[in-house]
Amino acid sequence: MSNDIVARVERLRAELPPDVEILAAAKTRTAEEVRAAAEAGITMVGHNYVQEAATMRDALKDAPPLRWHFIGHLQRNKARRAVEIFDVIETIDSERIARAVDRHCAETGKVMPVLVEINSGREANKAGVFPENARALIEAISGFEHIRVMGLMTMGPWTDDAEALRPCFKATRRIYDDLAAHPVEGVEMARLSMGMSDSWQVAVEEGANRVRIGTGIFGPRPAK
């Protein structure tokens, strides 16, 4: 297993431009799989679930250093624990959630880097702010003292056709470029997190500088 993960990480690094960060998406994976990725040089790991991430992080205390990113839908009642566990939250999509994160960070003096999640596919059942509301949200939370907006993240609809996601990536890139050209005080457009194992090539073509890779690092998930 470890050798396979090392080989996949090396292949990804060879294929990706040097300025694109790899975030290992660890949902459903074991701590030992994540350890192998860390030993292969991965420095960022993302998880969708707060408690599972806490358990995994405890199991990896002796692994090479990792920065932990929250990449799932954050419920307000989980915000305190998320602030304790994670180094970055990539899925801020409302002032209410941002305020909860800010409040819990203030309790410990922590400043949390965050990304704002864009619902670029305009899916009613998905998290994320619609593109036309992104700037207003960012302006509303830009003054919070204990979070720092560092960029944008998008998922896009579930599909086997990576090319079908290109319009979603383009829409998010337009917001990113607009915010870079017409900045909001206290906000930095440094990270554009788009694309997963089956779509990262299209995402990078559309400007992603961080990709979230699960099966491309860890291999297919075991059959249930």
First to last CA, the chain: 19
In this prediction, residue 87 carries a pLDDT of 98
224 within some domain = no
Based on the structure, what is the number of domains in the chain? 1
Torsion angles phi and psi, residue 71, rounded to 5: -125, 15
163 within some domain = yes
Ranges in the chain, pLDDT < 70: 1, 222-224
CA of 175: how far to CAs of 112, 136, 138, 152, 221, in Å? 22, 12, 11, 9, 34
In this prediction, residue 2 carries a pLDDT of 84
21 secondary structure, DSSP code: E
223 within some domain = no
In this prediction, residue 90 carries a pLDDT of 98
In this prediction, residue 221 carries a pLDDT of 77
Q: CB neighbours of 46 closer than 8 A, spacing ≥ 6?
A: 23, 24, 25, 26, 68, 69, 70, 71, 90, 212
In this prediction, residue 224 carries a pLDDT of 57
In this prediction, residue 1 carries a pLDDT of 63
CATH of the domain at 90: 3.20.20.10
In this prediction, residue 223 carries a pLDDT of 62
pLDDT tens-place string over residues 206-221: 999 999 999 999 999 7
In this prediction, residue 222 carries a pLDDT of 67
